[in-house]
Amino acid sequence: MIKNKQKSSSHYNINQLRLESWNELKSECSHLETLKRNTPDSKKQKEFVKSLFKKIETVESYFALPGISKMGMLQDMLERNEFTSLAHKITEITKLLVSDRYRSNPDIFDDEDTSGELVEVSGNSDGKTKNYFEVLFVEDISLQEEQKLKSDLNEVATDNDQFDYKIIVQRSFQDALIALYFNSNIQAVVIRYAPPFRSKKITSVIEPFIQNVLSLDMASKPESELGPLLGRLVKKFRPELDTYYVTDTSLGNLKDNTLKTFNRIFYRAEDVQELHLTILRGIYERYQTPFFTAVKEYSKKPTGVFHAMPISRGNSVFKSRWINDFGKFYGRNMFLAETSSTKGGLDSLLQPTGTLKKAQEMASDAYGSLNTFFVTNGTSTSNKIVVQALVKPGDVILIDRDCHKSHHYGLVLAGAYPVYLDSYPIEKYSMYGAVPLEQMKEKLLQLKEAGRLNLVKMLLLTNCTFDGLVYNVEKVMEEILAIKPDIIFLWDEAWFAFAGFTYNYKQRSGMFVANKLHKKYKSSKYRIEYEEHIKNLKKGEIPKLPDPDQVRIRVYSTQSTHKTLSSFRQGSMIHVWDEDFRKKSQNTFMEAYMTHSSTSPNYQILASLDAGRRQVQFEGYELVEKSIELAMVLRAKINDHPKLNKYFDVLTIGDFIPDKYRESGLAEYYKPNVGWNRMETAWKEDEFVLDPTKITLHIGKTGVDGDTFKNKYLMDKFSIQINKTSRNTVLFMTNIGTTRSSITYLYNALLKIADELDAEQLSHSSKEQTILKNRVSSLTKDFPPLPDFSYFHSSFQAVPGVPGGNIRGAFTLAYDEENYEYVPLEECLPSMSEGRTLVASSFIIPYPPGFPVLVPGQVVSKEIIHFLTALDVSEIHGYQPELGLRVFKDNILNRQKTVSSMGSNGSVKKKNLTK
Amino acid sequence: MGGTAPKHKKKESMKDAVSWFEIPALNFQQSVNFYNQIFGIDMETKLDDNYAMAFFPVKNGVGGSIVAGPGSTPGEAGPLVYLNAGKDLNPVLNQVELAGGRIVMPKTFISDDAGYFAIFIDPEGNKLALHSSK
Ligand SMILES: Cc1ncc(COP(=O)(O)O)c(C=O)c1O
């Protein structure tokens, strides 16, 4: 059922369109300047420039700078035929917009005589640059009233204010939302009275970019409700923003949830000063970094250390004759900030009461959780904490087999019985996709059938995967809760911490969906929907909606903050949205947290988590959107260049996700000649989507395998570092640190590699040509099989025929070297065909793909042997090629069998025994 | 209870070595269902504040029960109880896996005198044997 109507646009986002429009305006104005005045050519060109202004005007109305009055001035210049100064001005403005430099000097647009070189001044009295942001005012006012508001606010601003801002006025509900989509530097929203719903300025230019806005139809709501409603939407899409409401409804007559929606409500307050101070205060509070600030303060204090840590304050370093360079390299602050103290403004991570408590609460707000915990040993540790906190020996966990190894070790520690779920294979590129919902349900129903549903505790999935496959989190949770209403979800979001900061992504993240479903299932509307659904079920049909009386929302997400956001390495967070946390898991969670956390957590990591939180709250939306945009740019560039697409293909949605999981029909983000397909519908509905920032490049046509390409080409020749490869692919990622120039660098590197490959091929002898041809053919046509999870050996199965096995039992049996032996890989198949059952006694984890093809207690299948034989990677954890596979001895597999002593004692009569 | 208290007569043999056996359970009903199913019986149950018990129906031989409650912990180590599976243990054994147990040793010949046995693990994790003459 594929809906083929795709929406597309020739720019990926409004930012691209905006900058390109300015550039176009710039060159057309320059052209106008060169034409002889008052000629037909010049007149025609003038009209054209006018039309460009029209086009750009709507877009500009959503930004405070350069601002509509500036736009008016420019158009006046055009009218007055002042083409030279117009061209000059527009060149200036374009330069400022492209470089983003106006943000450190927002008043620069007002300077009448901005000359070519701009000095970055703007600052407060102590000379520091002020942070600049924009405030959205929503009210249907006239231009004069807008001017008055601006000058009133200007009057109350002082040099001593910590921050600097300008306002943008939008006159309707829709325009307010559009402004929030387009303008990532809006940090506060003031909604005054009742804005009308419809925008009067939507044009076909901006339409493709505002699908999410156009899909909301609130026109039927009474206008008096639109203000509070807008507030709620802001909180949903950009919860980090401060929202204020100015109303003439008296406080007593406001609904409760209106009161809760806004940071503050003003009653007809025309007190501009109060508003100004409130806005600044809101920003100030978000700007706080309690722990980072405490570390900074601590490092300034003189202290004598009579405790542990000689490195603290650099004492053992700077005075050293031999490691002085170590100190110089890192600089003094690094050592001044190192301490073992938990007092003096610092705090204890294991029992926080001060700055760490506050910092974690602020992170919880930012990430939309009920509780957030900082972890300083990576998500590897976060995962083990969550699993140990929630499952006990013998509990059953549904888990994707190709998840990170920390989970498998977590299962061993917890003694849980894993039920492995297989991701669908993508054989052509030697990688796995993700687990289809059908399979999860099937396994769950099997367990139900066997009377083991009560033992199922958790569903554990990786979202998104390393390769960028993203689940439909809402659909998975809903349909799984329909079968098992109290199941706990652990979403491994190691690669997805950034997802919470832009809407398309956010709706597929654990915390957002937990919150959404919790609200949904509590509503009376849902109760009716549920009853309707149950009534209409056919006989034997499984409900798809959870019972509102039984369902519990218990969701955990673990995120490697360091992988996708600003944090030192190992900085990780556990986000909890568990309505039973207090009652059911807080104690065990804290025990597990203590089990795995160091008593000397690294303060620099913690401070970086705190500072990183401030960053995402101010510029998360902007940076994440930009990293997606850059990924799209790279995808398009490689696609469009004939030299590159001769050797490389950017794999896209259709290559990763079979049609049946893509209801929207969206198969690629970018298509030459068509442009950008809008991704909104797919991200809302499809079972799986592909995160565009994970860019997998198929390199089969080069005849070079992934590992060699990574090391010999990218690293050795261009110092480009990547992590993941498969047999015929390499993976590039963009993140919030990616810059336009790094994209260009990569692009040029690929061009040079393509040149080199061309040159190499020209010099090939015919024999070499044949070899190359064979290699290309092997990389593009032969696909080694990807093995599924086979099954646990019967002696490790919880119940025969029902999924779930005792992985800890198997793991610990291998502590005794008497229990296992090695079988060389080449002897495995013959031995199996003679009837021997080979059962792994250890994890076997090849890198890549980085997950176990065998776990302790798992029966070795032919497919697994084929896979291991065909594998051409050098790193396989748990496997020593010179020894072979480590398998259990037969007597261990038979350990539960025994002889009977019955009848061995001759004196016992037959009839006694067998009567 | 079956059997009589042993008298202190040295070197004399006892009538039965076993007086009574108990199979521990955590999940009482699951365990009762299992034994009901494999033996095709309907065990009588008795519940009090702390304990739940279910009795194997025997006329005058050695009996036993399932017990759930404090101190009743299933496990696969420890003594091995042989349950009487009638003439041929196959019908009982065939039910084991269907009922959620696990066969760890199929029907195995012991001797002409002693007959056959098989070993299974019940859904609670107890290891038990079945015994029959044929
Ligand atoms: C899916 C997944 N989970 C967890 C981890 C572990 O994260 P960390 O490196 O922060 O310990 C990784 C690391 O690669 C991962 O890919």
Burial grade of A645 (CB within 10 A; 0-12, 13-18, 19 or more): middle
Residues of A in contact with B112 (CB under 8 A): 910
CA distance B46 to chain A (A): 23
Q: Which residue in B has a C-alpha nearest to residue A898's C-alpha?
A: B105
Letter string b/e over residues A737-766, b meaning 16 or more CB atoms within 10 A of that residue's CB: ebeeeebeebeebbeebbeebeeeeeeeee
What is the pLDDT confidence band of residue B10, given thresholds at 50, 70 and 90?
low
Element (H, E) at B64: strand B63-68
Determine which of A896, A901, A912 to mutate to test the interface with B (most B C-beta atoms within 10 Å): A896
Q: Do B113 and A896 touch (CB under 8 A)?
A: no
pLDDT: is A606 or A795 the higher one? A606
Burial grade of B46 (CB within 10 A; 0-12, 13-18, 19 or more): exposed
CA distance A407 to chain B (A): 25
Q: Do A903 and B111 touch (CB under 8 A)?
A: yes
Joined together, the tokens standing for residue A834 give 């003679």
List, in sequence order, every residue forming a beta bridge with A839; answer none if it has no partner.
A859
What is the pLDDT confidence band of residue A103, given thresholds at 50, 70 and 90?
confident
In the block, which residue shows the tokens 């004399």?
B12
CA–centroid distance, residue A807 to ligand 1 (Å) = 21
- Protein fold of A794-903: Molybdopterin biosynthesis moea protein, domain 2 (3.90.105)
Dihedral (Cα; A753, A759, A765, A766), 10-degree rounding: 80
User: What is the per-residue pLDDT across A365-423, written as a single tens digit (0 to 9) for each?
Assistant: 999 999 999 999 999 999 999 999 999 988 999 999 999 999 999 999 999 999 999 99
pLDDT of residue A211: 85
In the block, which residue shows the tokens 């079920």?
A537
Q: What is the mean pLDDT of residues A94-118?
A: 71
Determine which of A793, A799, A914 to mutate to test the interface with B (most B C-beta atoms within 10 Å): A914
pLDDT of residue A849: 73
Which one-letter DSSP state was computed for residue B70? Answer: T
pLDDT > 80? residue A625 = yes
What is the pLDDT confidence band of residue A127, given thresholds at 50, 70 and 90?
low
Domain ranges of chain A: 1-129, 130-287, 362-370+382-585, 618-765, 794-903
In the block, which residue shows the tokens 């937990």?
A514
pLDDT > 80? residue A873 = no
Superfamily grouping for domain A130-287? Response regulator (3.40.50.2300)
Residues of B in contact with A900 (CB under 8 A): 82, 108, 110, 114, 117, 129
A341 and A294 Cβ atoms separated by less than 8 Å: no
What is the pLDDT confidence band of residue A730, given thresholds at 50, 70 and 90?
very high
Q: Which residue in A has a C-alpha nearest to residue B81's C-alpha?
A: A900
Q: Which residue in B has a C-alpha nearest to residue A800's C-alpha?
A: B102
User: What is the per-residue pLDDT across A266-297, written as a single tens digit (0 to 9) for each?
Assistant: 887 668 899 999 999 999 999 999 999 999 99
Residues of A in contact with B113 (CB under 8 A): 903, 908-910, 913-914
> How far apart, in whole angstroms, are the C-alpha atoms of residue B81 and residue B85?
12
pLDDT > 70? residue B4 = no
pLDDT: is B5 or A144 the higher one? A144
Residues of A in contact with B105 (CB under 8 A): 896-898
Q: What is the mean pLDDT of residues A861-866?
A: 93
In the block, which residue shows the tokens 């009210």?
A139
Of the partner residues B103, B113, B125, the one whose CB lies closest to the CB of residue A910 = B113
Mutate to test the pocket of ligand 1, among A385, A399, A404, A409 (most ligand atoms within 8 A of CB): A404
pLDDT of residue A913: 53
pLDDT > 80? residue A227 = yes
Closest atom of ligand 1 to CA, residue A570: 10
- Distance set, CA A778 to CA A656, A705, A782 (Å): 20, 10, 5
pLDDT of residue A485: 97
Q: Do A900 and B102 touch (CB under 8 A)?
A: no
In the block, which residue shows the tokens 């009376």?
A524
Parallel/antiparallel/unpaired status of strands A554-559 and A469-471? unpaired
What is the pLDDT confidence band of residue B2, given thresholds at 50, 70 and 90?
very low
Q: What is the mean pLDDT of residues A643-653?
A: 93
pLDDT > 50? residue B1 = no
Percent of chain A with pLDDT over 70: 96
pLDDT of residue A906: 61
Joined together, the tokens standing for residue A247 give 């109303």
pLDDT > 90? residue A499 = yes
pLDDT: is A694 or A300 the higher one? A694
Choose from A122-136, A197-211, A290-304, A358-372 the range with maximum mean pLDDT: A358-372
Q: Do A902 and B108 touch (CB under 8 A)?
A: no
User: What is the per-residue pLDDT across A563-581, written as a single tens digit (0 to 9) for each?
Assistant: 999 999 999 999 999 999 9
pLDDT: is A1 or B4 the higher one? B4
pLDDT of residue A3: 43
User: What is the per-residue pLDDT across A236-245, written as a single tens digit (0 to 9) for each?
Assistant: 889 999 999 9
Please name the residue whose Cα sits nearest to atom 7 of ligand 1.
A379
pLDDT > 90? residue A164 = yes
Supply the mean pLDDT for chain A: 91
pLDDT of residue A451: 79
pLDDT of residue A253: 82
CA–centroid distance, residue A647 to ligand 1 (Å) = 31
Query: Is the CB of B12 inside 8 Å of chain A's CB atoms?
Result: no
What is the pLDDT confidence band of residue B7, given thresholds at 50, 70 and 90?
low
> How far apart, in whole angstroms, are the C-alpha atoms of residue A410 and residue A855?
13
What is the pLDDT confidence band of residue A853, given thresholds at 50, 70 and 90?
very high
What is the pLDDT confidence band of residue A194, given thresholds at 50, 70 and 90?
confident
Question: The CATH number of A362-370+382-585 is which of 3.90.1300.10, 2.40.50.100, 3.40.640.10, 3.30.360.10?
Answer: 3.40.640.10
Strands (E), A425-477: 425-426, 431-432, 456-462, 469-471
Query: Is the CB of B74 inside 8 Å of chain A's CB atoms?
Result: no
Q: Do A902 and B102 touch (CB under 8 A)?
A: no
CB-defined site of ligand 1, < 6 Å = A 378-380, 404, 406, 462, 466, 492, 494, 560, 572
Backbone angles phi, psi at B57, to 5 degrees: -75, 115
Q: What is the mean pLDDT of residues A177-183?
A: 95
ω before A393 within 30° of 0 (cis)?
Answer: no
User: What is the per-residue pLDDT across A6-53, written as a single tens digit (0 to 9) for each?
Assistant: 567 788 889 889 999 999 999 999 999 999 888 999 999 999 999 999
List, in sequence order, every residue forming a beta bridge with A9; answer none if it has no partner.
A676
Q: Which residue in B has a C-alpha nearest to residue A794's C-alpha?
A: B104
pLDDT > 60? residue B5 = no
pLDDT of residue A126: 52
Query: Is the CB of B101 inside 8 Å of chain A's CB atoms?
Result: yes
CA–centroid distance, residue A369 to ligand 1 (Å) = 20
Please name the residue whose Cα sits nearest to atom 9 of ligand 1.
A378
Q: Which residue in B has a C-alpha nearest to residue A447's C-alpha?
A: B100
Q: Which residue segments constitute the domains of chain B, with CATH numbers given?
A: 20-132 (3.10.180.10)
Please name the residue whose Cα sits nearest to atom 10 of ligand 1.
A378
Q: What is the mean pLDDT of residues A780-790?
A: 87
User: What is the per-residue pLDDT across A325-342, written as a single tens digit (0 to 9) for each?
Assistant: 999 999 999 999 998 888
pLDDT of residue A547: 97
Q: Do B102 and A898 touch (CB under 8 A)?
A: no
In the block, which residue shows the tokens 């994209």?
A743
Element (H, E) at B55: strand B52-55
DSSP per residue, A755-782: HHHHHHHHT--HHHHHHHHHHHHHHHH-
Superfamily grouping for domain A618-765? Aspartate Aminotransferase, domain 1 (3.90.1150.10)
Neighbouring C-beta atoms of residue A723, cutoff 10 Å: 13
CA–centroid distance, residue A894 to ligand 1 (Å) = 37
Q: Do B102 and A800 touch (CB under 8 A)?
A: yes
Element (H, E) at B105: strand B102-111
Of the partner residues A394, A897, A914, the one whose CB lies closest to the CB of residue B105 = A897
Letter string b/e over residues A281-302, b meaning 16 or more CB atoms within 10 A of that residue's CB: ebbeebeebbbbbbbeebbeee
Which of the residue ranges A129-143, A257-271, A346-360, A687-701 would you say has the lowest mean pLDDT?
A257-271
Q: Which residue in B has a C-alpha nearest to residue A913's C-alpha?
A: B114
Q: Do B100 and A452 touch (CB under 8 A)?
A: yes
